[in-house]
Amino acid sequence: MSYYAAFLDLTDRPCLVVGGDSIAADKAEGLLQAGAQVTVLAAAPCAELRRLPVQLLRRGYRPGDLRGFWLAIDCEATRGLAEEAARERVLLNTVDQPAACDFIAPALVRRGPLQIAVSTSGESPFLAAAVKNMIDRLLGSEWGAFTALMGELRRELRRQGAPRQAQLDAFRRLLASNARELLARGDHAGAQEIVASLARRFRHRAA
């Protein structure tokens, strides 16, 4: 099966997790990191779940529970949940059952605003996790700050009215610069000066 890859804006959106084990805790934490308002249905929540800032309802699923939610993750293959999700038009992910999912959750490498998603279209979560770990080892923490610098340069060039080709040229110069090495050494001021220099270069060219 072929999926359309997308990142969802879950800021302040009500999302539901059904299940009380460590997998449910991991799913709830991922939703929280995306800014969602998370409710968890769990008759016997694990310790990890109890520590999370979610609305925890200590019971199992009941018909009608999906009403008002935008997205749901079912960690228990709950009977009747998929049918209600279809009726209520709630996006549903059923863990380890791709055929019962409206979407699948990829393995993610996070570096601040930079997020790299790895998916096997549900064929092998193990392989997705293994590839994710390979990428994780390749990219240092400085990539998060570097991505933010790219965004800063992009916004400044657009503010100046830079044509597309000039923007691409500036992005290539920043990517080829030693900004990432400076960030890895903790020299944020030095990396910031490279961005400022590239912005000045366009201003002088346009003058």
114: helix, strand or coil: strand
Task: Give the domain range for residue 27.
Answer: 14-105
Q: What is residue 78's predicted lDDT score, i.e. its pLDDT?
A: 94
Task: Tell me the C-alpha distance between 74 and 81, whole Å.
Answer: 8
List the structure tokens of 32: 């929280």
Among residues 60, 89, 105, the one where a domain terminates is 105
43 and 114 co-located in one domain: no
Among residues 90, 123, 139, the one where a domain terminates is 139
24 and 98 co-located in one domain: yes
Among residues 139, 159, 182, the one where a domain terminates is 139
100 and 20 co-located in one domain: yes
Q: What is residue 122's predicted lDDT score, i.e. its pLDDT?
A: 84
- The stretches in the chain having pLDDT less than 70 are 204-207
132: domain CATH number is 3.30.160
The answer to whether 146 and 184 have CB atoms below 8 angstroms apart is no
153 and 188 co-located in one domain: yes
Q: Is residue 129 part of a domain?
A: yes
Q: Is residue 8 part of a domain?
A: no
Q: Is residue 98 part of a domain?
A: yes
- % of the chain exceeding 90 in pLDDT: 86
73 and 29 co-located in one domain: yes
Q: If residue 16 lies in a helix (H) or strand (E), which one and from where to where?
A: strand 14-18
Q: Is residue 120 part of a domain?
A: yes
36 and 76 co-located in one domain: yes
Helices (H), the chain: 22-33, 47-51, 81-88, 125-138, 142-160, 164-176, 179-184, 188-206
Q: What is the pLDDT of residues 108-118, one digit of tens each?
A: 999 999 999 99
Total number of domains in the chain: 3
Q: Is residue 172 part of a domain?
A: yes
Task: Tell me the C-alpha distance between 131 and 147, whole Å.
Answer: 21
Parallel, antiparallel or unpaired: strands 114-118 and 107-111: antiparallel
List the structure tokens of 153: 């340069």
**In the β-sheet with 91-94, what is the strand arrangement from edge to edge?**
55-57, 37-41, 14-18, 71-74, 91-94
Task: Tell me the C-alpha distance between 128 and 159, whole Å.
Answer: 39
Q: What is residue 204's predicted lDDT score, i.e. its pLDDT?
A: 57
Q: Is residue 70 part of a domain?
A: yes
169 and 201 co-located in one domain: yes
Q: What is residue 1's predicted lDDT score, i.e. its pLDDT?
A: 73
Query: In angstroms, what CA-CA distances link 25 with 10, 31, 59, 114, 127?
Result: 17, 10, 15, 23, 22
